Amino acid sequence: MVTKNSAVQKQDTLYFAPPVRNSFAFESIDTMKYSRDPSREKLHDASFDQKIESQMEAIALTGATHVAIATPYDEEFLPILKRWVEAARRHNLHVWFRGNWSGWEGWFEYPRITRAEHLEKTKQFILQHPYIFEDGDAFSSCPECENGGPGDPRQTGDVSGYREFLIAEHGIMRDAFMEIGRDVRVDLFSMNGDVAKLIMDKTTTKALGGTVTIDHYVKTPEQLIKDIDSLAEQSGGRIVIGEFGAPIPDIHGDMTEQEQANWIDRALSLLVKNPSIEGVNYWVGTGGSTEIWNSKGIPRQAVETLTKYYHPEIFYGTVRDDETGRVLSGVRVLYSDGKETETDKEGRFSRIFTGRIPSGVVFSFSGYEKRVLSKMSLDEEVTVTLEAEQRSIWLSAWDSFQKFLRN
């Protein structure tokens, strides 16, 4: 017998809540083309809030845990940064702050700043604006830091200085968030994959929190995995994909909607199986060649593909003895695609699906009749009951006796 339970609180009884269904611990979509590039132009344009709101709503519907917002941290842009953050909160999204100080790369005609100035500005920004952060957010003070300041260590040769600067940034951010009492990630130092190969040795990776974050665009998903595996081994750290997407014309050429969706599907199907991957940020939601919504908010096929991984379907529930109601642990759960698992000590089972849904599932347990489900109820708790074999034999004999009496 299979029954459906509501995963809500009723009469002080909390049913089995849905297991975490995210394919990755950290799932994000980037808004840089809208949250950074027109920041000055839209600073006092109230009508732009409609665009912000629609993007936050669309991103939330994919199941993303975070939205990446790239608005600069300069005081001039604080009002529009607040508008982006407030919209994210309305849609229950954590924020990955991926802005920077405009003076680091010379955005918006700001004068260049030094490493020392960057460190002090970052510290003061966190301490003076605690209200824009929430537990679960992430804060990157200098994404692709190699693009500004003293320059790219691949050209300058200042590898040690670059490492020391990142480690100092990490320490300042960690201490500042501790001071304001916010649990915000500060270990996501996005950098070009080739820079990571140069910079992120085991010692540096450990000093930066054990995570390597790369903004990485390559021809094939297979090459992406190969590069990730190499970097994971070199650094000894977890990997977060700070930016990935397709098509980049110089790398992938032109793609149809279907070809883009296929590329993303292949990449995510490989990433989700890779134990080194902690999180991903798709670049970019709207704007640019890799966009998955056009400027009018109309989704491309890739939105459905991304959603399949960010918010996969799930089959979950509890197995119980049909007469006593006690939970059964160690029950074998065998799916028609050959995958199998067992119920835990509380009789619970779960499986998320990012691809084809199996046609059925069999529950088997020593001393009990097998239970075959030809159709699975997805995204809601089910209770599967198994009948003891001895009880089944007794009931069968009783039925036969009743038929004999009727005849």
The fraction of the chain above a pLDDT of 70, given in percent, is 91
Q: Tell me the mean pLDDT in the region 125-131.
A: 98
Q: Tens digit of pLDDT for each residue in 288-339?
A: 999 999 999 999 999 999 999 999 888 999 999 998 899 999 999 999 999 9
pLDDT digits (tens, 9 = 90+) for 334-385: 999 999 999 999 999 998 888 788 889 999 999 999 999 998 888 888 999 9
pLDDT of 20 above 90: no
Using the predicted structure, report yes or no on whether residue 232 has a pLDDT greater than 90: yes
3-state DSSP helix/strand/coil % of the chain, to nearest 5: 40, 20, 40
Distance, CA of 104 to CA of 146 (rounded, Å): 10
Give the pLDDT band of residue 10 (cuts 50, 70, 90): very low
pLDDT computed for residue 314 by the predictor: 87
244 in Cβ contact with 216 (< 8 Å): yes
Q: What H or E segment, with its residue span, contains residue 265? A: helix 257-271
pLDDT value at residue 6: 39
For position 12, what pLDDT does the model report? Answer: 35
pLDDT of 228 over the 90 cut: yes
User: CB atoms < 10 A from the CB of 90, how many?
Assistant: 12
380 CA to centre of own chain? 22
Q: What is the pLDDT of residue 8?
A: 34
Radius of gyration of the chain (CA): 26
Question: Which residues is 4 bridged to in the sheet?
Answer: 382
Q: How far is CA 187 from the centre of its chain?
A: 16
Q: Residue 177 and residue 190: Cα distance in Å, rounded?
A: 19
- Distance from C-alpha of 94 to C-alpha of 133, rounded to nearest angstrom: 9
Task: Tell me the average pLDDT of the chain.
Answer: 92
- Between CA 265 and CA 260 the distance in angstroms is 9
Contact 246/255 with Cβ under 8 angstroms? Answer: yes
pLDDT category of residue 83 using cuts at 50, 70 and 90? very high
Q: What integer pLDDT is reported at residue 405 of this predicted model?
A: 62
The conformation of residue 358, written as its DSSP 8-state character, comes to P
Give the pLDDT confidence score for residue 145 in this predicted structure. Answer: 98
User: What pLDDT shows up at residue 288?
Assistant: 94
Instruction: Quote the distance between the C-alpha of residue 281 and its chain's center.
Output: 7
Q: CA of 42: how far to CAs of 132, 213, 255, in Å?
A: 20, 30, 31
Give 275's contacts (C-beta < 8 A, 6+ positions apart). Answer: none
User: Between 202 and 313, where is the model more confident?
Assistant: 202
Give the pLDDT score at 149: 97
Confidence check: pLDDT of 21 > 70: no
Identify the band that residue 270 occupies on the pLDDT scale cut at 50, 70 and 90: very high
pLDDT digits (tens, 9 = 90+) for 35-80: 999 999 999 999 999 999 999 999 999 999 999 999 999 999 999 9
Asked if residue 17 has pLDDT above 90, the reply is no
Amino acid at 132: I
Q: b/e map of 283-309 (b: 16 or more CB within 10 Å)?
A: bbbbbebbbbbeeeeebbbbbebbbbb
Decide if pLDDT at 22 tops 80. no
